[in-house]
Amino acid sequence: MAYSDKVLDHFNHPRNIGVLDKNDPNVGTGVVGAPECGDVMKLQIKVDADNRIVDAKFKTFGCGSAIASSSLATEWIKGKTVDQALEIRNTDIVRELALPPVKIHCSVLAEDAIRAAIQDIKEKQTASAEAATGSLSES
Amino acid sequence: MKPFIYLDNNATTPLDPRVLEAMLPYFREKFGNAASRNHRKGWEAEKAVDLAREQVAAMLNAGAKEIIWTSGATESNNIAIKGVAEMYKDKGRHIITQATEHKAVIDPCQYLEQHGFRITVLTPDRKGRINLDELASAIAEDTILVSIMFANNEIGTIQPISEIGGLCKGKGVLFHTDATQAFGKVPIDVEAMGIDLLSCSGHKIYGPKGVGALCVRRKKPRVRCAPVLHGGGHERGMRSGTLNVPGIVGLGWASEIARREMADDAVRIARLRDRLWQGLSERNEEIFRNGCADNVLANTLNVSFAYVEGESLMMGFENIAVSSGSACTSASLEPSYVLRALGVGDELAHSSIRFSLGRFNTAEEIEQTIGQVSATVQRLREMSPLFELAREGLGLKQTQAFSR
Ligand SMILES: Cc1ncc(COP(=O)(O)O)c(C=O)c1O
């Protein structure tokens, strides 16, 4: 089956490949795997004080559709707030990339990766808020 | 545009132009039905079919009367397995096969299992070869058939066919071999190897698609096979249907050419294959050859490129045609069951590429392939989270902890 032009474009010119420092308090990291086929996707976001995503990076082990889905995901979430990013649905990715039914799980993985990265940043923020209130009450 | 390089000859081969030439008259003026006994058009067709029978038989050291024409190896396997099962079911209802067979053997066996037969599926070793002692002890009182392929389509491993034939003869059990991948690539002698039934196909040997043959021995013992298709009683009653004369002529000439050129082709192709493996190993770390390096078809090289997925690799060098055992390439999202049977882990099966060379490949194409494949592997490893983890000292296994 031939790939759509958009899948080919993202595969041949992937946007935002790379890594962010996972220990940075403003960086959230999500690593998800597809139990169906063994693909693995890692997506990272960096947020500013207003919880706006200022940078996003990914690395993916998987087929061209999985790579394209994660590349597109990073492109879409950049500039959005985390709450806006959470509104992205895998079906949006399917439509944009014209993914065939057997490749829908690739888009699900990308949605999961966004969520996992956001969850990670939220956990970091809660932890640091707790640490802050903890140190306040101590003083 | 980069030139297209075809390295998927185990899937199908291009038609040899000499074969096409031989076939053309049988699409045009020599259109007769080989079963028409009363006029020239029929005789013409019958003569062509008889010559093709001689040509295929010569390749196998079989008799011309032992060749049954079919639509391909899938049908040959079905007739051999279901036909023998039907014919000998009063003698016994046990069949032995092995895990890396083509689906055209596995599925007929599974079908029989649902219809009162007992099927033993042997597991091959890491190289893809079956263990003869295991086979010997699997043969029981009620065993009627052993079906073990000559050479595997994914990894190219060649089975110890003569030994299996000898064992089966000693125990009075029929031996069928799916020789689709071996036919035309390695010498085959049904007599010396103790083969009772052998399947082959036209389109793997530079012949046309939709035509194949089943060799059914007529002596030591005389093998009988119930038909799968019932009809006009063609082909000794084993396969009814008007013969595909142009296809049969094509298979005949493809066999004849292979018989003459097989030895030279094998040497030349093995050299290209070895160069491909050498070039890839020099340029890429952590790549693994699947299957067997000694008992293997000259044309087949199956390699796992750790940390990168097979379908994305193929997409990266899209002008080179190969196959992959990756789950992503299959509708079922399962990685190759052949590699799995060898004990290759799912991750490495996911990363596997089968290169299958052929008569028309050149040294220049192999150099191109080494370069393009290596560049793609490097590019995809740069974007692989598994490669990153491995570089950080975590193994592939630990990444599972991150999975949902
Ligand atoms: C080992 C083996 N057996 C059987 C087949 C089926 O052959 P055919 O396409 O002629 O039905 C193939 C080819 O796909 C094969 O490689």
Determine the pLDDT at residue A135.
63
Q: pLDDT tens for residues A62-103?
A: 999 999 999 999 999 999 999 999 999 999 999 999 999 989
What average pLDDT does the segment B262-278 reach? 98
Show contacts of B382-386: CB within 8 Å, 24+ apart: B382/A17, B383/A14, B383/A17, B383/A58, B383/A59, B383/A60, B383/A67, B384/A59, B384/A60, B384/A61, B384/B307, B384/B308, B385/A31, B385/A40, B385/A41, B385/A42, B385/A59, B385/A60, B385/A61, B386/A40, B386/A61, B386/B306, B386/B307, B386/B347
pLDDT of residue A1: 63
CA–CA dist B112, B176 (Å, integer): 16
The residue whose C-alpha atom lies closest to atom 16 belonging to ligand 1 is: B153
Chain B CB contacts of A59 under 8 Å are 383-385, 388
Question: Which of these ranges, A124-128, B116-120, B171-175, B356-360, has the smallest mean pLDDT?
Answer: A124-128
User: Three-state DSSP class for A49?
Assistant: coil
Nearest-CA residue for atom 7 of ligand 1: B73
ipTM, 2 dp: 0.90
Residue in chain B closest to A65 (alpha carbons) equals B312
The model's pLDDT over B297-343, given as tens digits with 9 standing for 90+, comes to: 999 999 999 999 999 999 999 899 999 988 777 777 788 999 999 99
What's the pLDDT at A137? 55
Distance CA B122, CA B97 (A): 6
Q: Is A63 a catalytic residue?
A: no
Please tell me if the CB atom of residue B369 comes closer than 6 angstroms to any atom of ligand 1.
no
Of B77, B178, B180, the residue with max ligand 1 atoms within 8 A of its CB, to mutate for a pocket test, comes to: B180
Residues whose CB falls within 8 Å of the CB of residue B135, separated by 6 or more in sequence, listed in order: B96, B122, B146, B148, B164, B167
Residues 51-70 of A with CB under 8 A from B: 58-64, 66-67
* Helices A90-97, A104-138: crossing angle, 10 deg rounding: 140
pLDDT in tens, A38-60: 899 999 999 999 999 999 999 99
- CA B70 to CA B234: how far, in whole Å? 11
More confident residue, B195 or B393: B195
Q: Is the CB of B300 under 6 A from ligand 1?
A: no
Residue B393, number of CB atoms within 10 A of its CB: 7
B381 touches chain A (CB under 8 A): no
Calculate the average pLDDT of chain B: 95
Instruction: Determine the residue among A20, A61, A69 to mutate to test chain B binding: the one whose Cβ has the most chain B Cβ atoms within 10 Å.
Output: A61
Ligand 1 pocket residue status of B149, Cβ below 6 Å? yes
The verdict on pTM exceeding 0.90 is yes
Evaluate whether B381 touches B387 at the Cβ level (below 8 Å): yes
With contact defined as beta carbons under 8 Å apart, do A33 and A12 qualify? no
Secondary structure string (H, E, C) spanning chain B: CCCCEECECCCCCCCCHHHHHHHHHHCCCCCCCCCCCCCHHHHHHHHHHHHHHHHHHHHHCCCHHHEEEECCHHHHHHHHHHHHHHHHCCCCCEEEEECCCCHHHHHHHHHHHCCCCEEEEECCCCCCCCCHHHHHHHCCCCEEEEECCCECCCCCEECCHHHHHHHHHHHCCEEEEECCCCCCCCCCCHHHHCCCEEEEEHHHCCCCCCCEEEEECCCCCCCCCCCCCCCCCCHHHCCCCCCCHHHHHHHHHHHHHHHHHHHHHHHHHHHHHHHHHHHHHHHCCCEEEECCCCCECCCEEEEEECCCCHHHHHHHCCCEECEECCHHHCCCCCCCHHHHHCCCCHHHHHCEEEEECCCCCCHHHHHHHHHHHHHHHHHHHHCCHHHHHHHCCCCCHHHHHHCC
> Rounded to a whole number, what is the distance in Å from the CA of A100 to chain B's nearest CA?
11
Contact flag B385-A102 (C-beta cutoff 8 Å): no
Cα dihedral A18/A23/A27/A29 (nearest 10):
70
The number of angstroms, rounded, from the C-alpha of B238 to the middle of its chain's C-alpha atoms is 23
Phi-psi region of B164 (alpha: psi -120 to 50; beta: other; left: phi over 0): alpha
**Alpha-carbon span A8 to A17, nearest angstrom:** 16
* pLDDT given for residue B339 in this prediction: 96
**Looking up tokens 């939220």, which residue turns up?**
A122
How high is the pLDDT of residue B2?
81
Which atom from ligand 1 is nearest to the alpha carbon of B203?
A: 10
* CA-based nearest residue to B88, from B146, B157, B39: B146
The answer, yes or no, to whether residue B253 has pLDDT greater than 70, is yes
Would you say A75 and A16 are in contact if contact means Cβ atoms under 8 Å apart? Answer: yes
Q: Say which residue the tokens 């795997």 belong to.
A: A33
Task: Give the 3-state secondary structure of residue A87.
Answer: coil
Report yes or no: A110 at the B interface, CB cutoff 8 Å. Answer: no
From the list A33, A37, A112, the residue facing B328 with the nearest CB is A37
Sign of CA dihedral B375, B380, B383, B387: negative
Q: What are phi and psi of B225, to 5 degrees?
A: -140, 125
- Across the A:B interface, residue pairs with CB atoms under 8 Å apart total 80
Residue A63: alpha-carbon gap to chain centroid: 17
Give the CB-side neighbour count of residue B102, counting CA atoms within 13 A: 23
Is A37 tagged catalytic? yes
CB atoms within 10 A of CB A85: 23
* Residue A19 contacts B where some CB pair is shorter than 8 Å: yes
Residue B309 to residue A63, Cβ atoms within 8 A: yes
C-beta B102 within 6 A of ligand 1: yes
CB B207 near ligand 1, within 6 Å: no
Ligand 1, residue B76: give the atom nearest the CA. Answer: 11
Contact A38/B385, CB-based, under 8 Å?
no
Q: How far apart are the first and last CA of chain B?
A: 42
- Give the residue-averaged pLDDT of B172-198: 98
- Nearest CA-CA partner of B356 in B243, B280, B287, B272: B272
Q: What is the pLDDT of residues B10-50, one digit of tens each?
A: 999 999 999 999 999 999 999 999 999 999 999 999 999 99
- Contacting residues for A104 by C-beta, under 8 A, at least 6 apart: A90, A94
